[in-house]
Copies of this chain bind each other. A is one copy, B any other.
Amino acid sequence: MARSSRSTVRDIARHAGVSVATVSRVTSDDPHVTPGTRTKVLASIEALGYRPSALGRGLANGRFSMLGIVLPGLGGPYFAELIQGAESVAGEAGMALSVIGTHMRRDVGQAVRQLSERTDGLVVVGGTVDGNLLHQLAAHGPLVVVADSVPDLVCIRTDGHGATRELTAHLLEVHGYRTLRFVGLGRGSPDAAARYAGFREALTERGLAEVAPPLVQGMDSKAGAAAARELVSSGAVPQALVCANDELAIGLLATLPGLGVAVPGDVAIVGFDDNALASLASPTLTTIHQPIQAIGAEAARVVLDAARRREEVSAPPPPEDRVIPTRLVIRESCGCLY
């Protein structure tokens, strides 16, 4: 790992009585090596406990073999799934994954820049890095944006606007709810913003309006619990609550009954993501299913492809806004199937 006393290609070459090139060939699985020579070299490698330095290797061929991913935070099932997807793809390609959380960090720009200097490409979750820097980074190397749509950049996302519009329409059309409220619009979370916009559009299309501005508390279950308390103490419980994600919905689901508000009896609740708890909660959660892990994997794939292409000095990938389909999952919390 660190420099100290590590043996190098030269040590192996000397010990095996061959040249450094041959050692390199062996460690790189170059077929142009006599079996006998290979064996000899491998023996020396074993004997001296040699492990090639990624640094030397990287410097020699201008590659880090490292993929970077920038997330707002590392907490919550959403980001865990995204990482998981990206990591599996990176792993298959023999690359490592380097992560960084921008929340709870003052110098986001510097941190992201630093990351970009140690990676072959970046997956950036929307809302973590400002537009200027984003374009700057994209000019600098392969980059794909996830969960946001940014002009001139490769983006992979779902249609949060349309999906939430559809979900809200379900509440309005099928259940006939008329007083609805949104929960969880986050600062700098473009996908939450898109969902909120879809929510409003569904209402507007029908000549309705939200009964009150969004309950803004963050995006996790704790925030959902806080929203529940705020809602109840305000005394005005609407007929339905549309949450920016499942975590918020779960927090509400867990807290409201204790406050004397039945779900979906007194208030319907819907979420977004279809996370692991959505089908376990009681009542089970009506939500939008989103293949998060697949999105993370796809993002990683695109970045790695771009990195490879870049080595061949061919054209850069055209900016593209890829929209992954989602699926409305009707369960109990909206009032259906209960």
Chain A residues in the interface with B (C-beta under 8 A): 1-4, 49, 51-56, 58-59, 62-66, 68, 73-77, 79-81, 83-84, 87-88, 91, 94, 96-101, 104-105, 111, 113-121, 140-142, 220-222, 225, 250-251, 254-255, 257-258, 276-277, 280-282, 307, 310-311, 313
Contacts and interface: CB of A to CB of B under 8 A. Distances in A.
A84 B53 CA distance: 28
Copies of this chain:
2
A291 to B, nearest CB: 15
A311 B74 contact: no
B97 A100 contact: yes
26 contacts: A1-B117, A1-B140, A1-B142, A2-B310, A3-B62, A4-B310, A4-B311, A4-B313, A51-B116, A51-B117, A54-B114, A54-B118, A55-B55, A55-B58, A56-B59, A66-B98, A74-B83, A75-B84, A83-B99, A87-B100, A87-B101, A88-B101, A91-B105, A91-B111, A254-B281, A258-B282
**Interface class of chain A by DSSP:** mixed
A83 B74 CA distance: 7
Contact of A121 (B1, B54, B276): B1
B307 A282 contact: no
Contacts of A225: 280
